[in-house]
Amino acid sequence: MTSQLIKKIVTGDEIRRAFLKFYSEKLHKIIPSASLIPDDPTVMLTIAGMLPFKPVFLGLKERPSKRATSSQKCIRTNDIENVGVTARHHTFFEMLGNFSFGDYFKREAIQWAWELVTNIYQLSVENIIVSVFHEDEESAKIWRDEIGIHPDRIVKLGEEDNFWSSGKTGPCGPCSELYYDFHPEKGLQDIDLEDGDRFIEFYNLVFMQYNRDPNGKLTDLKFKNIDTGMGLERMAQILQKKQNNYETDLIFPIIQKICEIANIDYFSSDDKNKISLKIIGDHTRAVIHLISDGVAASNLGRGYILRRLIRRMVRHGRLLGITNEFLPNIATVGINLMQNNYPDLKNNNDLILNEIKIEEIRFRETLERGEKLLDELISSGQKLISGFKAFELYDTYGFPLELTEEIAYENSISVDVKGFEEEMNAQKERAKAASSNIDLTLEGSLEREIDLFNKTVFNGYNSLLSEAEIKGIFMDSTLVKQASEGQKVLIVLDQTTFYGESGGQVGDIGTIFSKDVEVLVDNVIRKKKCFFTLWNDQKRNTNYWTKS
């Protein structure tokens, strides 16, 4: 029996619930969202709603049922420079999907998609345009002869637009997309679906028939499958009649909180401020979910993506005039907004806020000085930032290369990326050479100095961040008053949150930082009543020992 509309669907939560309910009534099993950290070595993050089902489509894992439906959280950063600039680019988004594992195929997928968008979401036929793969006559025929779509509303596209895959390898096949036409009064002649002001693609039906191997060869899958994706944010824009996705109830409450902190009004703000507001609003959702799913900020892989997003948020907060710490307040709004649908956000609330706070403090320490240097480079009139200067911004001030490129681009300046990479490789060699001379055993006269200081207070069970006082500095087993750049020293602290290697447990890693220096913790070794920590300052090619 067809789902009956009780009231007009408008809110993001209503759109999500209506989708899942509709397909549940079509005998689809509702599958909870998978983690953003995929069980798939070919991708770093969950980039599509179908990714958790990829092993099922390949026949490597048993299907959860013949039919499934889900609302899957996703992250993509390949178009990060467009976030906040266009109406609908995001790093984090939710993909509503219905899936068939060797059960139904094109006819049912097309019929149910049409029923959903016209009966449940009540979209007018005059506002819908359909695209098909130019070689897929079967789909075009179903749309035209069975659904009754006028031929002028069916647009045939090439492989680049209407042949879908989850990556370079894996399941793939032709697809058919549904577009919303914001200006049907312009007629059906010379339709250009690339016109973002007029059209928005909101529902993609993938007819998964093939598997693509690393050489690009297509082979038939054992079973024909259906994979669809409807962007929740895009459907919210359509049904809520907003100018862009950011002004929907899925994101705008976060933006309103930013405006409150910055003491500005969104609708009266200029385009530059609106872009910053949108970037922070978008990145907030990505950051809280990444941390909740187990990603920690670092300089590698997923951790680097998280760190990059947080640092972009801090920078755009400064562009809005926000001088104090603000990210935990923004994150709290995001958590409250989404925790009913993603309860892990509530369960990991303290973890999320603490990680964000630490990263914000860490970056704000150096951001102002780095911005000053970058402003000087920009105001000098030069059109190219050298690799040396770009590396100095990265190494001394914590600016990721992408952030330097982004700011430079805003000012029509280029960056010598090759030169940056050469400086990076040279630094790695210097750090490697410096660290090779460190004696991790702590044998000899140095160990006899342990009792010179009181036992350090360990407070790592209650916090990951604490203030500490430097009680002494050793150089070559000799107590000194100060040390210069490039020298290896032992620093003695009065308290620490780092746990030392003991009983087979690996010592902590992390960062010690002050107003003038930031040092990476490579290892912590426990000796007698003390913790000895190796600090490796990669920026200054200096190795610090710390008795903590």
Neighbours of 16 (CB within 10 A): 20
The answer to whether 175 and 123 have CB atoms below 8 angstroms apart is no
Return the closest-CA partner of residue 178 out of 162, 195, 158.
162
Q: How confident is the model at residue 98 (pLDDT cuts 50, 70, 90)?
A: very high
Helix orientation angle between 387-397 and 349-379, rounded to the nearest 10 degrees: 150
Neighbours of 341 (CB within 10 A): 16
The mean per-residue pLDDT over the stretch 431-460 comes to 51
Q: Is the pLDDT of residue 306 over 90?
A: yes
The answer to whether 450 and 498 have CB atoms below 8 angstroms apart is no
* DSSP label of 147: I
Q: How confident is the model at residue 218 (pLDDT cuts 50, 70, 90)?
A: confident
- Long-range (24+ apart) CB contacts under 8 A made by 112-116 are 112/22, 112/23, 112/26, 113/178, 113/203, 113/205, 113/228, 114/147, 115/2, 115/22, 116/19, 116/22
Question: Is residue 88 helix, strand or coil?
Answer: coil
Pairwise CA distance, residues 426 & 411, whole Å: 29
With tokens 């660290």, the residue in question is 435
Return the closest-CA partner of residue 182 out of 260, 234, 105.
234
The mean per-residue pLDDT over the stretch 173-178 comes to 94
Return the closest-CA partner of residue 211 out of 229, 198, 223.
223
Using CA atoms, how far residue 118 sits from 9, 107, 127, 223, 248, in Å, is 12, 17, 10, 30, 21
pLDDT at 466: 77
Q: Is the pLDDT of residue 2 over 50?
A: no
Taking the whole predicted model, whether its pTM rises above 0.75 is answered as no
Q: CA torsion sign, 255 to 260 to 262 to 268? A: positive
pLDDT at 150: 94
* DSSP label of 506: P
Would you list the domain boundaries of the chain? Answer: 12-240, 251-361, 369-436, 445-547
The mean per-residue pLDDT over the stretch 502-506 comes to 51
pLDDT at 434: 40
Q: Is the pLDDT of residue 398 over 90?
A: no
- The amino acid that residue 497 corresponds to is T
Q: Is the pLDDT of residue 5 over 50?
A: no
Q: How confident is the model at residue 3 (pLDDT cuts 50, 70, 90)?
A: very low
Alpha carbon 514 to chain centroid, angstroms: 28
pLDDT at 183: 95
Q: Which range has highest mean pLDDT (359-368, 439-448, 539-548)?
A: 359-368
The mean per-residue pLDDT over the stretch 273-298 comes to 96
The mean per-residue pLDDT over the stretch 43-52 comes to 88
Using CA atoms, how far residue 211 sits from 55, 160, 170, 217, 423, in Å, is 11, 17, 5, 8, 42
Provide the token pair at 332.
Answer: 């709290």
In percent, the amount of the chain with pLDDT more than 70 equals 81
User: Across the chain, what does the average pLDDT equal?
Assistant: 84
Strand ranges of the sheet holding 518-527, from the earlier edge strand across to the other edge: 478-480, 470-475, 489-493, 542-547, 530-537, 518-527, 510-513
Question: What is the DSSP secondary-structure string of 12-56?
Answer: HHHHHHHHHHHHHHTTPEEEPPPPSS-S-TT-SS--STTGGGHHH
Euclidean distance between the first and the last CA atom of the chain, given in angstroms as a whole number: 69
Query: Per this entry, what is the length of the chain?
Result: 548
Pairwise CA distance, residues 105 & 226, whole Å: 6
Return the closest-CA partner of residue 92 out of 317, 278, 328, 227.
278
Instruction: Identify the CATH assignment for 12-240 out of 3.40.50.720, 3.30.360.10, 3.90.1150.10, 3.30.930.10.
Output: 3.30.930.10
* DSSP label of 182: S
The answer to whether 139 and 106 have CB atoms below 8 angstroms apart is yes
